[in-house]
């Protein structure tokens, strides 16, 4: 869907320098720019390359606000957050009207309720009493178990499994055999959550697992039963959260992080890739990066690594 | 399926204190207890809360055996293993007669043999000559490759892949290219094994991969070709076992553990989350916890961590 | 498909000692050898066991070239690379003529182009404008997103997801909410690449993700957007590569390795299992093994581990 630069500037809250009647139809990188394409520059050193590219126009940081020479060569959309404006422009250019669309090969139980403009991909299986909000996108071969609830604008990529049974067993001390602890709770996914391919999220054991609004989850992530995840987290690929972990708002979790059961990660902490948080541990520190297993503040961890490296070299 | 407390007490081997004619229809947590629900208490400090809850009855540890005051307020089912009795009660209350049920969208090869009361979910694909025992539950979008054998009461959650080809290649020393080593063995899953969502288990290269009875496997676990896994293990999420590893009975494996090829884990060892066992290593120690990469007894590992932390702090 | 030993010797470039008119129909391990089966021996100490087995013939290293006593007992196919010859023999014995075969339950968009002798398994979903070359094998329940390109002889095992959207977000500094960065690039998989069960490979953000010819990828591996992977790599199970990582030819990557964004792994490096490569790091060293997080040459890492172990023991 084409837009004029004038229209985009208004919708994105950008300041327009240059010809607002030019139309653009797509976004691209500098290397693959085309004559109807929009590129972005957040670092002044790339501005000349962007101007020299075939792109129709440039979204650029406010460092370029006074650069009239640039704007005579190429129209500029100036933004305090040029990467964000570029992301939003891409969305506007991609947007099409859509209807609710359930692929005929999807298996959707009769009791499922599906909102407006939601799409369900081929081969997906949606169990009894699942609720799915408006404008969700469920891709192909997804499985959503009975009783799961999804808010609005939730995206679930291919192969993800939502609402599987948690991993809870009771060992019979006489026979040594494991008996499943009841897994009868539910899973609630709030608005604007996005879930990557082949990730798995278990429903609660007796109560609920919940992923709060705006949290983004990468591929092959595991989230166990009873986990409570706050708003606006990013959780990178292959990370795992064990049963009953609590993660507060705005936490950033790197890839392959392991979070044991009953851990609490307090607001705004940052967990480096591959770090590990042992059982029942509390991690506290807004904006503090933690690393290693067991995870500690990265300053401490780096000092330990440096000490170890020096000491081992000193020995013969 | 409703049961009277008298009936449950008999089936679970519990001692009944109070009115045995009361019926219950479900289990729940204390917080979500309802008037037809059963709760459990294994720690005496929660007994008062359970009595005050709307629950119909309480499964409780034998510490409550003489507590007649409690039992006049609420009927008690007393058990030496209250959590286990609760798990079994949940199963009795959930149990329904069921027939063999194969979802019409499942693709099941003509040569597949399926036992009684086994269910196969939507979108699952079962290859040639697969044998599946009685009372198994294969959920949605599962793939079982040709020649795989499953015992009785096996549970396979959504998206799991059983009997995929193992990762074995021979490098041509002249061209540097990899040629697949033959992957023509099979996979045997014994009775009462449970497998989590999106886990993958390869069949043997020339011989077999085998998971022995009663072992429970969480989500996103990888088990390579020729692996031999004993009875009554628990293997937490995202753990990986490389080709030809041998794990004996009653081992407990945490999440994200990495077990290299040809490793042997002897009976009853416990591997902490994220630990790593290098190629051909033997891990021995019933009840001993191992941690770290390479995994060592946790006492040693914790001493090393403490030494490192102290030493790095002492330096300036 | 049966072959005479004479025929196999010619096709595999082996030297035949003994009766070339004998036919074989399969390969096997020594333990499961049958009278029409072929076994292999690359270590002289197993030759006697192979001769004593019921196998029809033995592929053996050139150490056996002068061993006429052996060849009177059992026909030998002598090769400088006996394991490789065995792998190729297995392929010849397995080979059947095949046609293009798309399972009727697969959902293949009308615009998809599929080469000769390519098979697509049950329940797989192939999006718009996907190109798949000749002699590919797409197993069951695979999802291939729109615009993905596969070369010839590509194998994709069950449940894998190719061309999913990458994990890229821009945070709005005013609201704290994440907006998806455009994920509109594509994914190119070159000839002879093999991809394990339930692995996920994202397409490029603005440009492309590419896996070059001959690279083999195990189960549950994650490859992020814009990653560039060279020729003839092996990548073991559960490894993850973050966005824009570059890995050159002939690199060997163990299981559960974590590679952060914008890392470069130069030609021929070897990454030990569970090692971790931090953001933007360059790893250089043909044939050098790296281990640990952050990954360092294994000699250094082992020295550090030894120092740590000794020091912690010395303390009381």
Write out the two tokens for C93. Answer: 């014995």
Question: What is the sign, positive or negative, of the torsion defined by CA atoms of C127, C131, C134, C137?
Answer: negative
Residues of C in contact with A87 (CB under 8 A): 169-170, 179-182
- Smallest Cβ–Cβ distance between C232 and the set B164, B178, B307 belongs to B178
Would you tell me how many other CB atoms lie within 10 Å of the CB of residue A32?
18
Same domain for A82 and A191, yes or no, is no
For residues A164 and A296, state if they share a domain: yes
Of C253, C154, C237, the residue nearest C245 (C-alpha): C253
Mark the ranges of chain B whose per-residue pLDDT is less than 70.
97, 316
Whether B171 and B292 map to the same domain: the answer is yes
Calculate mean pLDDT across residues A24-45: 94
The count of domains in chain A is: 2
> Do residues A290 and A165 share a domain?
yes
B167 — contact with chain C (CB < 8 Å)?
yes
Last residue of a domain, one of A44, A73, A94: A94
A80 and A183 housed in the same domain: no
Mean pLDDT of A275-292: 97
- State the CATH number of the domain containing residue B43: 3.40.1390.10
Rg (CA), chain B: 24
**Rounded Cα distance, A162 and C126, in Å:** 22
Kindly list the residues from chain A whose CB atom is less than 8 angstroms away from the CB atom of residue C176: 232, 250
Share of chain C above pLDDT 90, in %: 93
Give the tens place of pLDDT for each residue, A234-270: 999 999 999 999 999 999 999 999 999 999 999 999 9
User: Does residue C274 sit in the same domain as residue C166?
Assistant: yes
Residue A192 forms contact with C (CB below 8 Å): yes
End position of a domain, from candidates B79, B94, B109 = B94
**B140 lies within 8 A of chain A by CB:** yes
* pLDDT for residue A160: 98
As beta bridge partners, residue B195 has B156, B217
Tell me the CA distances in angstroms from C296 to A297, A308, C270, C299, one per residue in order: 21, 12, 11, 8
Same domain as B89, residue B168: no
- CATH number, domain at B234? 2.160.10.10
pLDDT band at C316 (very low <50, low <70, confident <90, very high): low
* CA B190/CA B209 separation, integer angstroms: 11
C95 has pLDDT over 90: no
- pLDDT tens track for C277-299: 999 999 999 999 999 999 999 99
What is the extent of the structural domain holding A71?
A: 3-94
> Do A164 and A295 reside in the same domain of the chain?
yes
How far B163 CA sits from the closest chain C CA (Å)? 10
Mean of pLDDT over chain C = 95
Q: Tell me whether residue A59 is in a domain.
A: yes
Average pLDDT over residues A142-152: 98
User: Which runs of consecutive H residues, i.e. helices, occur in B135-255?
Assistant: none
Confidence of residue A203 (pLDDT cuts 50, 70, 90): very high
Select the residue of C32, C83, C158 nearest B164 (Cβ to Cβ): C158
**Pick from C313, C37, C121: which is nearest to B302 by CA?**
C313
Contact A262, A280 (CB under 8 A): yes
Write down which residue in B77, B94, B111 finishes a domain.
B94
Check if C109 contacts A (Cβ < 8 Å).
no
- β-strands B169-171, A169-171: how paired? unpaired
Encoded tokens for A89: 């422009």
Q: What are phi and psi of B5, to 5 degrees?
A: -60, -35
- Measured in angstroms, the CA of B309 and the nearest CA of chain A are apart by 6
Q: What is the pLDDT of residue C191?
A: 98
Q: Average pLDDT in the C70-81 region?
A: 88
Name residues whose C-beta falls within 8 Å of residue B14's C-beta, 6 or more positions apart in sequence.
Answer: B8, B59, B77, B78, B79, B85
pLDDT in tens, C104-114: 999 999 999 99
Q: What is the pLDDT of residues C149-172, one digit of tens each?
A: 999 999 999 999 999 999 999 999
**Residue B130: inside a domain:** no
Within-domain flag for A63? yes
Catalytic residue among A103, A222, A225, A262: A225
What's this model's pTM, rounded to 2 decimal places? 0.96
Q: Write down the pLDDT at residue B187.
A: 98
With respect to residue B193, please indicate whether it lies within any of the assigned structural domains.
Answer: yes
Q: Do A255 and C258 touch (CB under 8 A)?
A: yes
B76 falls within a domain: yes
pLDDT tops 90 at residue A112 = yes
pLDDT at B300: 96
Which band of pLDDT confidence, cut at 50, 70 and 90, is reported for residue C94?
Answer: confident
Specify whether C222 is catalytic. Answer: no
Does residue A118 belong to the interface with chain B, where contact is any CB pair within 8 Å? no
Q: Considering the domain boundaries, does residue B103 fall inside one? A: no
Task: Work out the average pLDDT over A160-179.
Answer: 96
Does any domain span residue A135?
no
| Cβ-based contacts of B242 with chain C (< 8 Å) | 236-237, 255
Q: What is the pLDDT of residue A67?
A: 75
Please answer whether residues C130 and C148 qualify as being in contact, where contact means their C-beta atoms are separated by less than 8 angstroms.
yes
One domain for residues C171 and C89: no
Could you give the C-alpha distances from A202 to A183, A225, A236, C175, in angstroms and in order?
9, 5, 18, 30
A111 within domain boundaries: no
């Amino acid at each position: 869907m084409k837009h004029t630069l004038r229209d985009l500037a208004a919708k994105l809250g950008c300041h327009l320098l240059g010809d607002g009647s030019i139309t653009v139809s797509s976004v691209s990188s500098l290397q693959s720019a085309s004559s109807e394409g929009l590129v972005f520059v957040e670092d002044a050193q790339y501005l000349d390359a962007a101007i020299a590219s075939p792109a129709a126009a440039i979204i650029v940081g406010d460092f370029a606000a006074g650069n009239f020479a640039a704007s005579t060569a190429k129209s500029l959309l100036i933004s305090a957050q040029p990467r964000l404006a570029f992301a939003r422009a891409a969305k506007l250019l991609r947007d099409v009207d859509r209807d609710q669309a359930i692929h005929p090969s999807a298996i959707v139980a009769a009791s499922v309720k599906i909102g407006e403009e939601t799409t369900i991909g081929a081969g997906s299986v949606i169990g009894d009493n699942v609720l799915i909000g408006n404008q969700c996108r469920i891709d192909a071969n997804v499985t959503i178990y009975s009783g799961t609830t999804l808010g609005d604008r939730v995206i679930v990529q291919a192969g993800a499994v939502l609402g599987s049974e948690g991993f809870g067993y009771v060992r019979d001390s006489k026979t040594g055999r494991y008996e499943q602890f009841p897994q009868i709770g539910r899973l609630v996914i709030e608005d604007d959550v996005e879930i990557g391919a082949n990730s798995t999220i278990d429903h609660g054991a007796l109560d609920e697992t919940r992923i709060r609004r705006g949290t983004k989850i990468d591929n092959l992530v595991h989230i166990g039963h009873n986990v409570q995840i706050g708003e606006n987290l990013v959780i990178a690929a292959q990370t795992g959260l064990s049963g009953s972990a609590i993660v507060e708002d705005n936490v950033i979790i790197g890839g392959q992080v392991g979070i044991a059961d009953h851990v609490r990660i307090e607001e705004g902490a940052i967990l480096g890739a591959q770090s590990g948080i042992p059982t029942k541990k509390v991690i506290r520190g807004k904006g503090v990066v933690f690393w290693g297993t067991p995870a500690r503040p990265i300053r401490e961890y780096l000092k330990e690594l440096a000490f170890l490296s020096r000491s081992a070299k000193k020995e013969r």
